[in-house]
Structure 1
Amino acid sequence: MSTSVQIGFLVLLALLAANLPFINQRILVLGPQRSTKPLVWRLAELVVLYFVVGAIGLAFENHGGQIAPQGWEFYAITGTMFVTLAFPGFVYRYLMHRQH
């Protein structure tokens, strides 16, 4: 798999993982079904999924060669990017007014 395909796959995976807590009502996708899931659970899932996607990205980088050292700036930027990718799911869950 080429590097550009890996990057594209990782971005799509991050987009899916960032919106997953806002789409379903299960805890960590595998837990019990809940009628409503509090925002705290959704944010905790967002953090866990950030690290899962990061681990997959680290595995891709390790497979491709030497792992580049990352400082706090890397994690600050990727964290804010992950939260930005979660915006459509947040809008769907909390800001869209549905007619009943």
Structure 2
Amino acid sequence: MWRCMMIIESNKTCNLKDIALSLNVDNAIITRNIKKLEDLNYIIKIKRLNDNRFFDLCLTDEGISILKSINGYQEKWYEKVIKNFSEEESDTLINLLNKLCSNI
């Protein structure tokens, strides 16, 4: 759900399909996550003015606050994980993980 919130925050006019494509996951998973985020009052759906069949997703103030908090923890965790890595080793690891994800 955190990754969904990150995408919504960085793309003000995203929808379920955009998130599923960005995360390379099934639409059903995103639909469940978005419903949970709505229930928690972290996001809202806004109908598009030019087409009522579709809606965009936006973070609420509470959602923005939670995302900032999560990002703070994420940054601390990332710093701990790569603490003894050189910049080259860190870059290599990220490239290998990206390659792994592409293969999946």
TM-score, reference length from structure 2:
0.30
User: Which protein has the bigger strand share?
Assistant: 2
* Structure with bigger gyration radius: 2
Structure number with the higher helix fraction is 1
